């Protein structure tokens, strides 16, 4: 939480992550929990958290990395590649609790803010 507060004006998310958040919410059955989550996503996060697109530059980097990793016998999840590409082309730090999902992408800076520094 300290890092989220410290970097709050610099935070953004990738379009595929936004999709995953919405999808998770929409899969919930109608309930108070879903309404609360949906309200938070739409009323708090959407207006304040920039969502970065998967654009042509990201697609080019992603395609090259998928080909390189495929030659090495590695096949990361497609969406992880999209997220990595969005961060890489913008020279951003990718923050995740699943560092191993991004370990094989070249030149990508990845941090886990849940672990003590």
| Domain ranges (residues) in the chain | 2-51, 56-111
1.10.357.10, 3.40.50.150, 3.40.50.1010, 3.30.360.10: CATH of 56-111: 3.40.50.1010
Distance CA 19, CA 24 (A): 8
What's the pTM? 0.88
pLDDT tens for each residue of 89-113: 999 999 999 999 999 999 999 999 8
Whole-number Å distance between alpha carbons of 105 and 70:
12
Q: Dump pLDDT digits (tens) for 39-80.
A: 999 998 899 899 999 999 999 999 999 999 999 999 999 999
Q: Is the pLDDT of residue 1 over 60?
A: no
Distance between CA 109 and CA 92 in Å, rounded? Answer: 7
- pLDDT at position 117, please? 59
pLDDT at 72: 97
């Amino acid at each position: 939480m300290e890092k989220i507060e410290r970097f709050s004006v610099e935070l953004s998310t990738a379009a595929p992550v936004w999709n995953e958040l919405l999808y998770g919410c929409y899969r919930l059955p109608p309930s108070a929990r879903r309404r609360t989550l949906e309200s938070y996503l739409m009323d708090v996060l959407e207006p304040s958290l920039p969502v970065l697109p998967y654009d042509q530059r990201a697609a080019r980097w992603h395609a090259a990395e998928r080909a390189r990793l495929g030659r090495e016998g590695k096949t990361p999840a497609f969406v992880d590649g999209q997220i990595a590409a969005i961060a890489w082309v913008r020279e951003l730090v990718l923050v995740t609790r699943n560092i191993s999902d991004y370990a094989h992408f070249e030149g990508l800076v990845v941090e886990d803010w849940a672990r003590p520094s």
